[in-house]
Amino acid sequence: MAERVLVPAREGRSVRVAAGQCVTFLDVEGMQIGDIALLSGHDPHERFSQSDTRLRNGKLRISTGDVLYGTAGRPMAMIVRDDVGTHDIVSYPCDSARYERDFFSPGHANCRANLAGALLEYGVEEWWVPDPFNVFMNTHFTPDGRQIIEDAVSKAGDRVTLRAEMDLIVAVSACPQDMYSPNGYRITDLEMLVHGP
């Protein structure tokens, strides 16, 4: 029996996922980025690490078969289904400074606050919310290092599924970035589904 968690547009939610279980992220209407934070279910100081994931997979773009690593260098989850293939493991979650300084919108909803709110019950403080696995975020790079963020290409119903390699706390924010176009200027819901392998 799958556990379904609705992640309303612009908000964050969290769920526990046991080792061996899967968690699927569903883009309900398309073009909606989700910022995913993974933390150890036993010690949330052990968090998803973008840099360990880049280094240990040897690349800047991950997809099916690649592993998400944590700050202790241990596997946290493996991608077992990926309908899209364009995700981001380089960028921080949008935060209050981003909206205040770049988009002149103080008080705008942001992924860092959404993740911190969703993780509050586990004792996580905002300053150590990890840089996330930004699912459906269409980031790519040129050989000279330029980072280019383009519009998401995910369609309604597209999914990414992770298999937990350890007991996890999983939080996701339905990215509220509507000040430029990576979400298509339209913020919509995500769903999390926790299920068996």
Partner 1 sequence: MSTGKIGAGRGALVEFDRSEYLVLEDRAGSSSVLLVLFNASDVREYLSLSHTRLGQGNIFLLPASSLLSNRRNLMARVIEDGVRAHDIISGAVGEDRLPANVISDLAAKGIEPWAVPECVRLFTPVEIGEDESLVRRCSVSRRGDRFVLLGGMPCLCALVVPEGEIGWQTRRQMPAKV
Point out which residues bind partner 1 (CB under 8 A): 45-46, 49-52, 54-56, 58-61, 69-74, 90-92, 95, 97-98, 101, 125, 127-128, 131, 140-147
CB 46 to partner 1: min, Å: 7
CB 119 to partner 1: min, Å: 15
151 CB contacts (<8 Å, ≥6 apart)? 31, 138, 181, 182, 184
Instruction: Report the C-alpha gap between 117 and 104 in whole angstroms.
Output: 23
Structure tokens at 134: 């930004």
Q: Are strands 34-40 and 168-174 parallel, antiparallel or unpaired?
A: antiparallel
Helix (H) or strand (E) holding 117: helix 111-119
Closer residue to partner 1 (CB): 71 or 188: 71
Structure tokens at 122: 């586990």
Instruction: Report the C-alpha gap between 188 and 190 in whole angstroms.
Output: 7
Closer residue to partner 1 (CB): 6 or 153: 153
CB 157 to partner 1: min, Å: 26
CB 76 to partner 1: min, Å: 11
Cross-strand bridge partners of residue 193: 4, 24
Closer residue to partner 1 (CB): 9 or 117: 117
CB 96 to partner 1: min, Å: 9
Closer residue to partner 1 (CB): 9 or 112: 112
Structure tokens at 169: 């706390």
Closer residue to partner 1 (CB): 12 or 44: 44
